[in-house]
A and B are shown apart, each in its own frame.
Chain A
Amino acid sequence: MTRLRLILFILLSAAGVAASFAATAAAPDALPAVLVSRQLAESARLHVGDTVTFALDAEGKGGRQFRVAGTYEPTPDPMKFTARRIEARMHLPDLVDVTAAQPDADSADAVDGINVRLAHPDDARAFGAAVMARAPGIFARPTARTGDGSDPFAVLDRFHFAIAVVTVVGSTAFLLALMVMRAEERRETVGIVRLIGISQRSILLEVLVEGLLIAAGGAIFGVLFALATQGAVNRFFQWRYDTALVFVRVTTRIALESVALAVPLGIVAGLVGSWTLLRRDVVAMVRR
Chain B
Amino acid sequence: MTNAAPLIEGRDLTRQFPMTAGAVTALNHASIRIEAAEYVAITGPSGCGKSTLLHLLGCVDQPTSGSLTFEGRDVARLNETERSRIRLTRIGFVFQRFFLLPMLTAWENVELPQAEAGVPRSERRNRTRELLEYVGLADRIDHRPSQLSGGEMQRVAIARALANRPALLLADEPTGELDEVTGDQIADLFDRVHADGTAIVVVTHNATVAARAGRRLAMKSGRIVEAGKQ
When the two chains form their complex, are residues B88 and A197 in contact, meaning their CB atoms are under 8 A apart?
yes
- A288 and B116 alpha carbons, distance in the complex (Å): 26
A198 is an interface residue with CB less than 8 A from chain B: yes
The answer to whether A283 and B60 touch across the interface, beta carbons within 8 angstroms, is: yes
Assess the B99–A286 pair: CB atoms within 8 A.
yes
Query: For residues 69 through 111 of chain B, which have their beta carbon under 8 Å from a beta carbon of chain A?
Result: 80-81, 84-89, 91, 93, 95, 97, 99-103
List the one stretch of A25-33, A100-108, A199-207 in contact with chain B. A199-207
Find chain A residues with CB under 8 A from B86 CB: 197
Contacts of B61 in A (CB 8 A): 281-283
> Among A192, A198, A281, A283, which residue has its beta carbon within 8 angstroms of that of B84?
A198
Residues of B within 8 A of A201 (CB): 81
B101 touches A202 (CB 8 A): no
Are the C-beta atoms of B160 and A196 separated by less than 8 Å? Answer: yes
Inter-chain contacts of A198 with B (CB < 8 A): 84, 88, 112-113, 116
A234 to B61 alpha-carbon distance, docked (Å): 61
How far apart sit A196 and B112, CA to CA, in the bound complex (Å)? 10
Measured between C-beta atoms, what is the minimum distance from A70 to chain B in Å?
67
| In the complex, B140 has a CB within 8 A of chain A | no
Q: Most chain-B Cβ atoms within 10 A of its Cβ — which of A189, A202, A282, A288?
A: A282
Please indicate the chain A residues that have their CB under 8 angstroms from the CB of B97 in the complex. 288
When the two chains form their complex, are residues B60 and A282 in contact, meaning their CB atoms are under 8 A apart?
yes
Nearest Cβ in chain B — how far from A279, in angstroms? Answer: 11
**Within B47-63, which residues are at the interface with A (CB < 8 Å)?**
55, 60-61
Asked if B101 and A199 sit within 8 Å, CB to CB, the answer is no
Supposing A282-B60, A283-B60, A283-B61 touch, asked if A196 and B80 sit within 8 A by C-beta, the answer is no
Task: Tell me the complex Cα distance, A200–B81, Å.
Answer: 7
Q: Which residues of A contact B81 (CB under 8 A)?
A: 199-201
Which positions 167-225 of chain A face chain B at CB distance < 8 Å? 189, 192-202
The residue on B at minimum CB distance from A198 is: B116
Bound Cα distance from A198 to B112, whole angstroms: 9
Q: Assuming A202-B116, A283-B55, is B60 touching A196 (CB within 8 A)?
A: no
Chain A residues within 8 Å of chain B by Cβ, number = 17
- B116 near A195: Cβ-Cβ < 8 Å: no
Which listed residue, A189, A197, A282, touches B101 by the CB 8 Å rule? Answer: A189
Q: In the assembly, what is the distance between CA of A133 and CA of B38, in Å?
A: 104
Q: A197 contacts B113, CB within 8 Å?
A: yes
B80 touches A197 (CB 8 A): no
Query: A193–B89 contact, CB under 8 A?
Result: no
Identity of the chain B residue whose Cβ is nearest the Cβ of A196 in the assembled complex = B113
Closest chain-B Cβ to A6's Cβ sits at a distance in Å of: 71
Residues of the B chain whose Cβ atoms lie less than 8 Å from the Cβ of A288: 97
A274-288 contacts to B, CB under 8 A, are 281-283, 286, 288
For A286, the chain B residues whose CB sits under 8 A away are: 95, 99
Tell me the minimal C-beta distance from A87 to chain B in angstroms: 65
The docked-state distance in angstroms from the alpha carbon of A198 to that of B81 is 9
Q: Which residues of B sit under 8 angstroms from A189, Cβ to Cβ?
A: 101-103
Known: A189-B101, A202-B116, A283-B61. A196 touches B55 (CB 8 A): no
Verify A192–B99 contact, CB threshold 8 A: yes
Question: How far does the alpha carbon of A281 sit from the alpha carbon of B18 in the complex, in Å?
Answer: 13
Known A-B contacts A282-B60, A283-B55, A283-B60; the reply to A197 vs B99 at CB < 8 A is no
- Interface centre among B84, B99, B113, B160, by most chain A C-beta atoms within 10 angstroms, is B84
Instruction: Scan residues 110-165 of chain B and give those whose CB is less than 8 A from a CB of chain A.
Output: 112-113, 116, 160-161
* Chain A residue with the shortest CB-CB distance to B157: A196
A202-B116, A282-B60, A283-B61 as given contacts; A194 in contact with B101, CB under 8 Å: no
Q: Kindly list chain B residues whose C-beta atoms are within 8 Å of the C-beta of A194.
A: 84
Bound together, the chains give a CA A193 to CA B93 distance in angstroms of: 11
Kindly state the separation between the CA atoms of A286 and B80 in the bound complex, as whole angstroms: 18
In whole angstroms, how far apart are the Cα atoms of A242 and B158 in the complex?
Answer: 73
Flag if A200 contacts B160 (CB, 8 Å). no
Shortest CB-to-CB span from A277 to chain B, Å, is 14
24 A-B pairs within 8 Å (CB atoms) are namely A192-B99, A192-B101, A193-B101, A193-B112, A195-B93, A195-B99, A196-B87, A196-B112, A196-B113, A196-B161, A197-B84, A197-B85, A197-B88, A197-B89, A197-B91, A199-B81, A199-B84, A199-B85, A199-B88, A201-B81, A202-B116, A281-B61, A286-B99, A288-B97
Query: What 17 new A-B contacts, CB under 8 Å, besides A195-B60, A197-B84?
Result: A192-B100, A193-B101, A194-B84, A196-B99, A196-B160, A197-B85, A197-B86, A197-B87, A197-B89, A197-B113, A198-B84, A198-B116, A200-B80, A200-B84, A283-B55, A283-B60, A286-B95
Using CB atoms and an 8 Å cutoff, list the residues of chain A in contact with chain B. Answer: 189, 192-202, 281-283, 286, 288
Closest 4 CB pairs of A and B: A197-B88, A197-B87, A192-B99, A199-B84
